[in-house]
């Protein structure tokens, strides 16, 4: 459900800003839509980055309770986004929704890694992560049946639905016995800040630094690259003579293809990781992202003929490459002990979002400068060159048990 909420804004970016910018005294030009869209994405990323606070909370007070609070947070503020009366009120609400959304992955991955049997733990982490990408499909379906008919505000209403899951989680999901025993052994003297500070001890410092860099690379590709697929398709469809409703539906199709391809990639990732290792698997999917972002936005976006069909094909490749995030769902928990596992996951997966916020802002500024969406987004592919070069320095955990 966090995947659905986080991608809803991508789908309604253009119509929402075209509606809200004039109400804030700003002309709804293509350049301004691109600039303020990038700015709001950046603020959302800063909010998501602030979600690193959920990790120490989960390590000290429990995975399940922390997950309930994070789901409630992002659901409520997504719902309130439906009532935004200007671009700045929407910006504040997206920031607060980001704080909630950023907590679910770190807590959920720690929970799954500690609960699933050792021989199925890698697949469990990967399968858990597919939920995020099924959220893309749900967002696309909601936009097709609701957004294209009733408008962008109703999409944010749909985004408030995950709050209904909190009661189910409270009654049906228990804290992992591994975590409960560890907290009992550590005693009351173990505080939240201990779980955070240990990440920078000599034992963990090197892997924490490199893992953070890897996430920055992945996040730059997602939030400064493939997240612009709906907007890219909207611009292409409009340029080639499609109506606004048809453009919205094509954006939904491209997002659905993106989500389905990523789910397919998520099932491939654990098989590949067990065969060639975690680092090699990450490098392979980095390569797919590098090629597909450059092809989609550097070339296809500017094609005069058949651009819609080729962009759909690129969306499939972008979705497949986006499964690089699945690697982290089982690789990061394998590198840290139970008392700091959620803190490590939350810090590494969220600190990179501050850098991603910078990337998204630069993309928005680039759109305003170049008066086009394609070139600035295509340039984000260069982040994956850095990632591929640094992957060999990561901690290989293939064949090793989950640390106690």
Per-residue confidence at 317, pLDDT binned at 50, 70, 90?
very high
Compute the average pLDDT of residues 159-180.
76
Q: 309 or 126: whose pLDDT is higher?
A: 309
**Residue 399 is assigned to a structural domain of this protein:** no
Q: What pLDDT, on the 0 to 100 scale, is given for residue 168?
A: 66
How many domains does the chain contain in total? 1
**Residue 301 is assigned to a structural domain of this protein:** yes
Residue 46 pLDDT > 70, yes or no? yes
Q: What pLDDT, on the 0 to 100 scale, is given for residue 256?
A: 78
Compute the average pLDDT of residues 252-262.
82
Helices (H), 116-243: 121-142, 148-150, 152-159, 165-172, 177-186, 192-197, 205-223, 229-239
**Residue 231 is assigned to a structural domain of this protein:** yes
Whether the Cβ atoms of residue 193 and residue 56 lie closer than 8 Å to each other: yes
Task: Give the closest residue to 391 by CA, choosing from 283, 287, 274.
Answer: 283
Q: What pLDDT, on the 0 to 100 scale, is given for residue 122?
A: 87
Helices 63-80 and 2-23, packing angle to 10 deg: 30
Q: How far is CA 70 from the centre of its chain?
A: 15
Distance separating alpha carbons of residues 35 and 33, to the nearest angstrom: 6
The H or E element spanning position 246 is: helix 244-276
Average pLDDT for the chain: 86
Per-residue confidence at 81, pLDDT binned at 50, 70, 90?
very high
Q: For residue 59, what are the domain limits?
A: 2-393
Could you give the count of Cα atoms lying within 13 Å of 314 in the half-sphere of its Cβ? 28
Q: What pLDDT, on the 0 to 100 scale, is given for residue 363?
A: 79
Residue 144 pLDDT > 80, yes or no? no
Residue 96 pLDDT > 70, yes or no? yes
Between the alpha carbon of residue 358 and those of residues 143, 354, 355, 366, 380, the distances in Å are: 28, 7, 5, 12, 12
CATH number of the structural domain spanning residue 343: 1.20.1250.20
**Residue 403 is assigned to a structural domain of this protein:** no
**Residue 221 is assigned to a structural domain of this protein:** yes
Compute the average pLDDT of residues 276-302.
94
Per-residue confidence at 129, pLDDT binned at 50, 70, 90?
confident
Residue 224 pLDDT > 60, yes or no? no
**Residue 404 is assigned to a structural domain of this protein:** no
Q: What pLDDT, on the 0 to 100 scale, is given for residue 170?
A: 61
Note the pTM of the prediction, 2 decimals: 0.82
């Amino acid at each position: 459900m966090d995947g659905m909420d986080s991608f809803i804004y991508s789908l309604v970016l253009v119509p929402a800003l075209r509606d809200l910018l004039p109400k804030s005294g700003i002309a709804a030009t293509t350049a301004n839509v691109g600039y303020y869209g990038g700015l709001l994405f950046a603020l959302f990323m800063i909010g998501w980055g602030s979600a690193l606070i959920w990790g120490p909370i989960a390590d000290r007070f429990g995975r399940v309770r922390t997950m309930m609070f994070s789901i409630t947070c992002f659901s409520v503020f997504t719902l309130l986004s439906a009532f935004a009366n200007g671009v700045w009120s929407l910006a504040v609400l997206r920031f607060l929704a980001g704080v909630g959304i950023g907590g679910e992955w770190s807590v959920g991955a720690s929970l799954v890694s500690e609960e699933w049997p050792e021989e199925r733990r890698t697949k469990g982490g990967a399968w858990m992560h597919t939920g995020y990408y099924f959220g893309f499909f749900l967002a696309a379906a909601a936009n097709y049946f609701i957004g294209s008919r009733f408008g962008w505000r109703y999409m944010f209403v749909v985004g408030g639905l995950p709050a209904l899951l909190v009661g189910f989680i409270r009654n049906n999901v228990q804290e992992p016995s591994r975590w409960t025993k560890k907290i009992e052994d550590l005693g009351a003297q173990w505080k939240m800040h201990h779980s955070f500070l240990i990440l920078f001890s000599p034992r963990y410092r090197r892997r924490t630094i490199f893992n953070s860099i890897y996430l920055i690379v992945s996040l730059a590709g997602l939030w400064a690259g493939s997240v612009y697929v709906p907007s890219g398709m909207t611009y292409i469809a409009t340029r080639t003579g499609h109506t606004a409703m048809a453009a919205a539906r094509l954006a939904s199709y491209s997002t659905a293809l993106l989500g389905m391809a990523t789910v397919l990639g998520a099932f491939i990732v654990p098989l590949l990781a067990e065969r060639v290792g975690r680092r090699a698997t990450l490098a392979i999917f980095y390569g797919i992202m590098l090629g597909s972002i450059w092809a989609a936005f550097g070339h296809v976006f500017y094609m005069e003929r058949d651009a819609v069909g080729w962009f759909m094909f690129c969306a499939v490749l972008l979705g497949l490459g986006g499964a690089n995030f699945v690697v982290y769902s089982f690789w990061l928990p394998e590198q840290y002990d139970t008392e700091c596992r959620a803190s490590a996951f939350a810090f590494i997966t969220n600190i990179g979002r501050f850098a991603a916020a910078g990337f998204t802002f630069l993309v928005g500024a680039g759109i305003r400068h170049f008066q086009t969406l394609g070139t600035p987004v295509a340039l984000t592919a260069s982040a994956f060159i850095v990632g591929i070069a640094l992957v060999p320095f990561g901690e290989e955990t293939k064949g090793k048990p989950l640390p106690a």
